[in-house]
Each structure stands twice: as C-alpha cells, then as structure tokens.
Amino acid sequence: MKVMMIGVDLAKNVFQVHGALHTGEVQFRKKLTRTQFPVFMAKQEPCLVIFEACGSAHYWAREMAALGHEVKLIAPQYARPFVKRQKNDAADAEAIVIAARQPEMRFVEPKTVQQQSRAAIFRGRERLVHQRTADVNALRALLYEHGHVFPQGIRRLNRITALLEDKTADLQPLIREECLDLLAQIEEKTARIIERTAKLKTLAGKSDSARRLQTMPGVGPLTAIAVEAFGPDMAQFKTGRDFAAWLGLVPKQHSSGGKERLGRMTKAGQADIRRLLIIGAMSRLGWLGRRTITEGSWLSRMLARKPKMLVAIALANKMARQIWAMLTKNEDYKDPALAVAA
C-alpha cells in the first residue's frame, strides 16, 4: 500500500485537495465542495492529512481523525514560502504538502471541543469588555463636547451618573437622554461581563490543572482558563523557554557573524496568555505585591536597576517557564526564594 499525504486548502464552500507520496510524486489534484470532501476522505485509506491552521481546521482535524487518518496542522506562515509562482488554491494545497515533508517542520496541535468551548466564553467576555470601553469613550466624548470633562476609566462612571441625575446640570434634554441611553448600555454590558467572569471562575474551579496554576502569585482564574483554552499540551515543549518563546515573551534576535543582538519582545505568539501574564506580573510589582518580594531576591535586584515595565515582562517570562514546569511535573507552585532558603 502506498503511503500518501493529502494537503487540503480549506475554504467556506470549495476545498482544494492535493494527494502525493512522501517522495513528492503527485497522485491527484481535486476540487471538492463542502459536502463532497468528507465523502471523498472516507473512501481514502488511512493517510496523513495536513491542513493550514485556520478557523475551521480544528473541526476538520477531529472529523478526519474520526475517519482513521493522521492529522497535522501547519501554521500558514510556514507553508507560504513553498508556494510556486502564482498563488491559487491548487498551489496552496501543494505548498502545504511540501512544507509538511520538511523534517524540521513544526506543527500546531489540534484543539479539542472543550478547549474551543472555553475559548469561546473567554473571547466573548473580551469582546464585551471592548464594546463597553467604546461606549464609555463615546459617553465621555459626548459630554466633553458640552463642556463636561471626565477622566478615563470605568470607575469614574459614578461621577458621570451623578451629573446626568442632576436636574440643574447644564445639559440639553436630548443630550441627557442620549447619555442615559449610553449609560444603560454600559450597565447591561457590565452585567454580562460579570456573568461570563463568574462562568469562567466556575470552570477554573472544576479543573485540576487550572487549580494548580492558581497557586502561583499573579495567576488568577482567567489566566488559568486562558492557558487551558489556548495553550497546547506542554509535553510538546522541551523546556520552559520554548513555551515562553511560543508566547512571544523572549527578545527578538538580530544576530549575525557570531555577535548577538537582542531587541524588543517578539510578540510572535499567543496574545491572550501573554497579555494576562504581563498583567499578573504587574500586579506583583504594585505597592501591595512588593510587600511579598524577598529582599536580595532576583526580582528585588531587577527592580533596583530596571524600569518597572521591563521587569514585568521579564517576570512574565519567568512565570511562563514556571507554568510549563508545574504542568509537566503535575506540581503546585513552589516559591523559588523559599526553596533556596531551605
């Protein structure tokens, strides 16, 4: 039996399929509709199926695995260099197969239904937060046009509410009515954000790995759920630094001729986990969190000579490495300072 590789360029309605041997010999090129694709794949003998990691790739990966195929997902930026001349669906499908044949190629782990469900709740909450921020800014801008200036921040809404409830305030009736409508929308979104936050905290409480992650200072339920929803199996990373690099928390390199040149943080990874880790690191560097920092520790020495934001990024990098160690060893957080003292 010939072992085949099938590269699939996914789309909404029309899929381009490219079948080849591991030696590169082309077996077939086909254009299939959405309904024809699963029927065609069910007739194929078990083989390696490769998709670009996109919106529907994780769903189709599960469907192909159920048919007995081995499935791998490849990042689009890794397949793009293998596109020959003109870009079209057939060339993309061929490039996916060529890229997958490279022995050093890195692949994306398919997500489970549970991961995608948790990610949907997490992203839904983030979307509501962005919408509420836009409404607050619109409300502040409207009042600014009529001579009332308010500082930024959701916590300042009580001052705006007091102004709108003051019947003697210098506001036209139509403007007051529009502002009250915006305020009602903000309150509605706040209630929905609180509801989703509570749901995420409940999910974090039911998961053993999420509970373990929350033993680390600076990691709360949202960060723990984000690691579960967006992070792959930690076993695929050889070291904690590999996980930190996957998150984009390492310096960008411009090295050449044996001389190392390190730049800013790459930001070439999972943005949600990276952002939450930096926020968690900043909370540990605040006036309340600094009380727990041991004198003479790595963190206290960094704070003495480096800007606060730079220290927060370095701490987030260290937290990512510790998360990798905790999940691979199935252990709770251990304070390095206490471990050294012991």
Could you give the CA distance from residue 129 to residue 232 in angstroms, rounded to a whole number?
26
CATH topology (fold) of 4-100? Nucleotidyltransferase; domain 5 (3.30.420)
Residue-level pLDDT at 3: 62
Q: What are phi and psi of 293, to 5 degrees?
A: -80, 125
Q: What angle do CA 94, 96, 100 make, to 5 degrees?
A: 120
pLDDT, position 342: 42
User: Is the distance from CB of 9 to CB of 25 less than 8 angstroms?
Assistant: no
- State how far the Cα of 125 lies from the Cα of 122, in Å rounded to an integer: 5
CB 308 within 8 A of CB 300: no
**Tokens encoding 10:** 């996914």
- Which of 73-77, 219-223, 300-304 shows the lowest mean pLDDT across its residues? 300-304
Please, which residues have CB within 8 angstroms of residue 11's CB and are 6 or more apart in sequence? 89
Percentage of the chain beyond pLDDT 90 is: 73
- Name the pairing type of β-strands 4-9 and 14-21: antiparallel
User: Residue 2: what pLDDT?
Assistant: 65
pLDDT tens for each residue of 140-189: 999 999 989 999 988 889 999 999 988 888 889 999 999 999 999 999 99
Q: In this structure, are residues 127 and 82 in contact, taking their beta carbons and an 8 Å threshold?
A: no
Select, from the ranges 20-24, 103-107, 196-200, 282-286, the one with the highest average predicted confidence (pLDDT). 196-200
With cut-offs at 50, 70 and 90, classify the pLDDT of residue 303. Answer: confident
Look at residue 324 in the predicted model and tell me its pLDDT: 95
Non-local (6+) Cβ contacts of 210 within 8 A are 203, 204, 221, 224, 225, 227, 228
Residue 5's DSSP bridge partners are 20, 48
Mean pLDDT for all residues in the chain: 90
Distance, C-alpha 289 to centroid of its chain? 26
109 has a pLDDT exceeding 50:
yes
- Give dist(CA 164, CA 174) in Å, integer: 12
- Name residue 16's beta-bridge partners: 9, 31
**Which tokens go with 77?**
């930026």
> Please, which residues have CB within 8 angstroms of residue 256's CB and are 6 or more apart in sequence?
none
Task: Say whether pLDDT at 340 is over 50.
Answer: no
SS3 for 29?
A: strand
Average the pLDDT over each of 109-113, 190-194, 286-290, 307-311 and give the range with the smallest value: 286-290
- Identity of the residue numbered 56: S
- Residue 337 has a pLDDT of 61
**Cα end-to-end span (Å), the chain:** 60
Is residue 28 classed as helix, strand or coil in its secondary structure?
strand
pLDDT score, position 341: 46
* Closest C-alpha among 183, 189, 119 to residue 150: 183
pLDDT of residue 221: 95
pLDDT of residue 10: 94
In angstroms, the CA 47 to CA 277 distance is 39
CB 54 within 8 A of CB 76: yes
Q: Give the per-residue pLDDT at 203.
A: 94
Domain ranges of the chain: 4-100, 113-206, 208-341
In the prediction, which pLDDT does 286 show? 81
